[in-house]
Amino acid sequence: MSASTLRAAGMVTLVVAALLGSAYALGRSLVPDHPDRGTGVAASIHTPHYGDQPPSTEFPGPPGGGYGGPSPDASPSASDDARQPDDSEGPYGARTSTGSTRIALTFDDGPDPQWTPQVLALLKEYGVKATFCIVGENAESHPDLVRSIVADGHTICNHSWNHDISLGKRSPAAIRDDLLRTNDAIRAAAPDARIAYFRQPGGAWTYQVVSTCEDLGMTPLHWAVDPTDWQVPGAAKITQTVLAETRPGSIVLMHDAGGDRSGTVEALQRLLPELMHRFQLEALPTGTT
């Protein structure tokens, strides 16, 4: 085959290859791309946020932690809908205000032998009465601290036997047994203690738990200010949040147990004189319960 024939054949081959490539590119442009496959997990603005310490081996909580609203599985039933509150109340009508211009400091999850005495000492130093939401098994383990809380004139609140965030999903009988067991442990330490309030762990209120605690003569107690000290944000952040969000009538949520509460204790040293300058502080009234 001559050289000119070979060159001609090569040119034909190049032209054919170019035409085939153009045709392939045109065909691909006419086929829609496959959509990207996501993770299958969508973020939601309705993700619950709770008000106590995150899950731990001591106080198990919902997956992912966070506090301040109903439990993830606590879907309202027909009876729940009948009890849904207006905007001036907490979940299912739980109390969020003192009902006056005074404010109330509340401390959850104790008593704790390391942190509760420090909180009590600061409150005594400034002459402030507060409300302590007590876990039954901690009352049983530290009856001396329960007696100290009562002797100092603070209000007692039932906080369930072992900080059971899912308590509200149990049967009324099981809820009743849990609350009575906790009351018994508190009164075994301090027989004259008046227990006028119940605070659902995690703020995971349901109709069942509200109805049961009210049947036992206790007021469901929520909060208005949550500095999330269970996240250990540091004393400065706790102080900043409380001072920025507290208004006349606010119920403030803090913790004297359930983890490292050094930040809470340090924050109290700054908060107490400033809050006393701005407001009157009170222990929530117990009535005759």
Q: What is the pLDDT of residue 68?
A: 41
DSSP-based helix, strand, coil % in the chain, nearest 5: 45, 10, 45
Cβ pair 110, 136 in contact under 8 A: no
Residues annotated as catalytic are: 108, 255
Predicted confidence at residue 3, as pLDDT, reads 53
CA atoms within 13 A on the CB side of 132: 32
CA 253, CA 229: separation in Å to the nearest integer?
9
User: What's the CA gap between 175 and 178, in Å, rounded?
Assistant: 5
Strand partners, 75: none
Q: Which of these, 114, 122, 182, lies nearest to 154 by C-alpha position?
A: 122
Tell me what pLDDT residue 143 has.
Answer: 98
pLDDT of residue 8: 57
Quick one: CA torsion of 62, 108, 218, 139, rounded to 10 degrees?
A: 100
Q: For residues 102 and 108, give the distance between their C-alpha atoms in angstroms, rounded to a whole number.
A: 20
Task: Show Cβ contacts of residue 103 under 8 Å, excluding neighbours closer than 6 positions.
Answer: 246, 248, 249, 250, 251, 252, 275, 279, 280, 281, 282
pLDDT of residue 57: 36
Is the bond preceding residue 227 a cis peptide, omega within 30 degrees? no
Confidence at residue 1, expressed as pLDDT on a 0 to 100 scale:
55
Q: Where are the alpha helices (DSSP H) in 36-90?
A: 78-83
Determine the length of the chain.
289
Question: Angle 262-278/116-126 helices, nearest 10 degrees?
Answer: 20
pTM above 0.75, yes or no: no
Q: What is the C-alpha to C-alpha distance for residues 200 and 65, in angstroms, rounded to an integer?
A: 16
> Sign of dihedral through CA atoms 56, 61, 64, 67?
negative
CA-to-CA dists, residue 22 to 17, 26, 245, angstroms: 9, 6, 67
289 residues of the chain, pLDDT tens digit each: 555 555 555 565 555 555 555 554 444 444 444 333 333 323 223 333 333 444 433 333 332 233 444 333 444 444 444 444 344 478 999 999 999 999 999 999 999 999 999 999 999 999 999 999 999 999 999 999 999 999 999 999 999 999 999 999 999 999 999 999 999 999 999 999 999 999 999 999 999 999 999 999 999 999 999 999 999 999 999 999 999 999 999 999 999 999 999 999 999 999 999 999 999 999 999 874 4
Asked whether 261 and 229 are in contact (CB, 8 A), the reply is yes
